[in-house]
Structure formats: structure tokens, C-alpha cells
Structure 1
Amino acid sequence: MLKAVFFDLDGTLLPMDENEFTKGYFKFLLEKVQGKGYGDPAFFIDTIWKGVYAMYKNDGSMKNEDRFWLAFDEAYKENKSKDKPLFDEFYTNEFKKAKAFTSDNPLARDIVEFCKKNVKHTILSTNPIFPKGGQLTRLSFIGLKEDDFEYITDYSNSIYCKPNPMYFKSLLEKFSLKPEEVILFGNNTYEDGDCASSLGIKTYLVKGYIIYHPKAKGSYQEIEMKDVIPTIEKEIELRK
């Protein structure tokens, strides 16, 4: 039986070129922290990436949030985690301007509503490297909100990141799911495809912004956004 559908966000439900999006929104983040004691902009951006990398390598011994801010504090050699409220404010407010670097997805609402009516669990398995506000703001770009999903991973409720298979394993355990009871829609051959399939989760890649990662070993069926609902219908029938 198909019990759960996992959705990636960036480049999947939310159409975007991730590099263009990141470069664009970093400009807004730099404006937010100007005059707040972060000094050289290049060093600040480099430190952001160090924090992201630390989350990617998280071994499960602490939340991604704590891993990020530990890296930040170490880089600046002072307590920068005191500025969490400043960053939370950014991801709830100014981050909305980053919608300019994304595209609309008029099918997103129908896809999610179909899942909620036909499977037990509809999960947003977006990489948990953002605060909750950052996840919800990006969701709003395609007209979705928090209660459209049973669960949304963010940096404060997660202790792993993709491409670590433990990220998906922790979701399976949280919802008492077996891999064969889940399908994933993503856009990255490595972070979605290899990561999920290593546990036995069937993965589909949504065309438009597929990332063919050089480390990827598997190949995955590619579908158009308009084919997501028919694909879920097919998987429901196959698993009855």
C-alpha cells in the first residue's frame, strides 16, 4: 500500500535554478546584516557556506540549527547565535523578495490536495538547511502553507541532511513507514535519487530543473509536473 508521498521543494514543487536563487537571495541577506557586526561581505557569505556544509555533514548528534550556528560562532570567534532572531526575521520578511528568482507552479495546489485525499502522509522533504520561516516563505511562492503538509523538515527539527540516507530513514522511522510504502518526487539525482533509493524508496525526478549530480550512481524516471498526479494514481494501484 502507498502510505506516503515525499516532496522536495526547490527545483521540484517550486521551479527554480538553485544557483541563481541562492546568489539572488544572498544579496538581500547581506543588506539585512549590514552594520550588524559581520564585516567583510565575502567572509560572511563564506561563513554561511561553512554553516551549510556543517549541516550537510551532521552526524545526528545535534540539530542542524545548532550545527550551523556552532560553525558560525567558530568562524567569527564570538557568539553570533545571539542573532538568530535577526535571521528569523529575514526569512519571514525580506526573504519574500527572493520570489523574483523562482517561477510559478499552478499545479502545486492540486498535487498536494490530491495527496492529502489519497495517501495517509504528505511530507515536504526539503533539505533542512533553512529555519522554519525560510521553508514556509518559499512554500508561499507557490501558494502553499504549513498546514498543506503533515510535516515539513527544517533546520530546527532535523539532525541530518540529504544526501545522508539517515535523513530519509529518520522520516521513515518517525511515521512508522516501510520504504516500499513511500514514493519521492525530487529533482536531484544524488541528494534525492541515490539518497532515497539506497533505502528502497522509489524516486521520480520532475523535469524542468533536474540536477544531474556528478556523484550520482543511479538513474531515475523523469516526469513532467502534469504527470505527478497520474503517477501517484498509478503507484496507488500498483501497491493495492
Structure 2
Amino acid sequence: MAKALLFDLDGTLLPMNTDQFIEQYMRALAPNVASFLDPKAFIKIIWESTNDMIKNTDHNLTNEQVFIDSFVKRTGIQQSDIWPTFVRFYEEEFPLLKIHTNPSPLSKEIVEIAKEQGRKVVIATNPVFPKAAIYERLKWLDLLDFPFDLVTVYEESHFCKPQPKYYLEILEKIGVEPQEAMMIGNDMQEDMIASKLGMPTFLVTDYLIDRGTLTYEVHQKGSLEELKEDIKAKKGVFAL
């Protein structure tokens, strides 16, 4: 029985081509740091520091701490010098990236139905972004004030997808067992890996990502519209 539904954000609840969005995000962010770093070198370092976050398995360090430590070591730039630039970017420029996404009213309907059914609802987006960026994307879906049971952000999370520990940390925080929670996402590798923990999975196919390297068990799949109908009808893995 799915007491908790864990929803991926990019490409799942927020319809978008994630690779194209990230490309536009980097293109917008890089010029802001030109006084500190060559933009091309900056993008390379951002990816390297992000990979350090993804590989981290130390539960004593938040993703934010891992990223900052990696970035400062790689650039020699002090956090206090460059971080105000990032803060300004997320406040003033990141909201403009909405044009590279395709928000759907289905997303709000889906989480509202799940909540009305008495389920816990989690935004299980890969916490490689700061809270400001994640909540801005929820705003695009008119979900900024929705009473989620948890939203994973890099300031508060200690692991990233596809680390199984990422999912275990969520389950511990919301107080459910793996078989009582379901992961819903569009990424065969990063989202469906939750099945290895005994979690049922639903693969959203509108913006499907499958790198073909590893495949994991998919218990149910369909479009965002079909996801809504399956939850509403309590069909298959959504039975209560």
C-alpha cells in the first residue's frame, strides 16, 4: 500500500527536456561570474563539484557543504566573495528560465488528489540545486504553498540520486517503510533505482530519460495524464 508518493520534479511533475533546461541554466549563470572565472572554466568546475556531491556518501555532510568545499578548492575563490552573485542570480535571473519548461495544470491536480487520499506527498527532486531554485520551479506549477511532507533541497539533504541512501534518508524523515512508499519519475536510472530498496515505481514517459546503462524494475508506467488517472482510480500500484 502506497502511504507516500515521492515525485521527481524536472521532466516529471514539471514537464521539460532536462538536458536543454540545464544547458540554458548554465548559459544564463556563467556570465555572472566572468569577473571571477572564465565562463567555460566555471561550467566545467560546476559539473565537477556537482559530481562530487553525487558521489558523496558521508552522512555528516550536506550536499551544500560538499559542493561549496569542492568549488572553493577547485577555484581558490572564497565563498563569501562569490556567493552573493549566486544569490542574486537565483532571485533575479533564474525565474526567467521558466520559458524553457512546459508547466501543466495536471501536476497540481495529481498532488492534490494524492493528498486528499491521505497519502504523504514528497518532492523527491535530485537535491543538487539550492532551495531557492527548487521552490522557484514549484512556483511555476502553482505549488509554492502546497503542504508537501518533504521537499529535498541541497541545504538539507546529505545524498543525491542515484544513491540509494538518498531514498533511505527520505523514508526516515517521513517515517515510512520502503514498501509503503512509491517513487514516481521519468529517469530510468536515477528514479527507478528506488525499486532496489523494495519501493514500487511509476515511470512517467512524457520526457523519459534512459541512458541504457542500467535498468531497474518498473511496476507501472504512463504519461502524466495516465499517472493522474491511475492515482485517482487507485489503480495497480496505487491501490489503498
- TM-score normalised by length of structure 2: 0.92
1:53 matched to 2:54: no
1:174 offset after TM fit, Å?
1.3
State the match for 2:61 in structure 1.
Answer: 62
- 1:191-239 per-position Cα deviation (integer Å, ceiling 9, x unaligned): 0002x10101111111111111222222423211112233222257734
Pick closer, same or farther for the CA change 1:71–1:146 going to 2, 3 Å: farther
1:25 offset after TM fit, Å?
1.3
1:89 offset after TM fit, Å?
2.8
Q: Matches of 1:231 and 1:217 in 2, distance apart?
A: 23
State the match for 2:23 in structure 1.
Answer: 23
Tell me the amino acid that sits aligned with residue 53 of structure 1. Answer: N
1:217 matched to 2:224: no
1:141 offset after TM fit, Å?
2.0
Q: Is the 8 A contact 1:10 1:16 kept in 2?
A: yes
Q: Is the 8 A contact 2:121 2:150 kept in 1?
A: yes
Instruction: Name the SS of the counterpart of 1:5 in structure 2.
Output: strand
1:87 offset after TM fit, Å?
1.4
State the match for 2:128 in structure 1.
Answer: 129
Instruction: Name the SS of the counterpart of 1:62 in structure 2.
Output: coil
Q: Matches of 1:111 and 1:72 in 2, distance apart?
A: 38
Pick closer, same or farther for the CA change 1:158–1:82 going to 2, 3 Å: farther
Q: Matches of 1:222 and 1:100 in 2, distance apart?
A: 27
1:200 matched to 2:198: yes
Number of matched residues? 236
Counterparts in 2 of 1:90-101, with a 5 A limit? 90-101=89-100
In structure 2, the gaps of 5 or more residues are none
Tell me the amino acid that sits aligned with residue 33 of structure 1. Answer: V
- TM-score normalised by length of structure 1: 0.92
Counterparts in 2 of 1:120-199, with a 5 A limit? 120-194=119-193, 196-199=194-197
In structure 1, the gaps of 5 or more residues are none
- 1:70-110 per-position Cα deviation (integer Å, ceiling 9, x unaligned): 11111112323543333133223310111121112121111
- CA-atom RMSD, angstroms? 1.7
- 1:112-135 per-position Cα deviation (integer Å, ceiling 9, x unaligned): 111111133100000000000010
Q: Is the 8 A contact 1:2 1:235 kept in 2?
A: no
Q: Percent identity?
A: 36
Q: Matches of 2:192 and 2:150 in 1, distance apart?
A: 20
Q: Is the 8 A contact 1:7 1:184 kept in 2?
A: yes
Instruction: Name the SS of the counterpart of 1:190 in structure 2.
Output: coil
1:144 offset after TM fit, Å?
1.7
Q: Is the 8 A contact 2:121 2:148 kept in 1?
A: yes
1:79 matched to 2:91: no
Q: Is the 8 A contact 1:88 1:131 kept in 2?
A: no
- 1:160-209 per-position Cα deviation (integer Å, ceiling 9, x unaligned): 00100000011111122111111121011110002x10101111111111
Tell me the amino acid that sits aligned with residue 238 of structure 1. Answer: A
Counterparts in 2 of 1:110-129, with a 5 A limit? 110-129=109-128
- 1:13-60 per-position Cα deviation (integer Å, ceiling 9, x unaligned): 11111111011111211233233x2x2111100111011101101112
State the match for 2:13 in structure 1.
Answer: 13
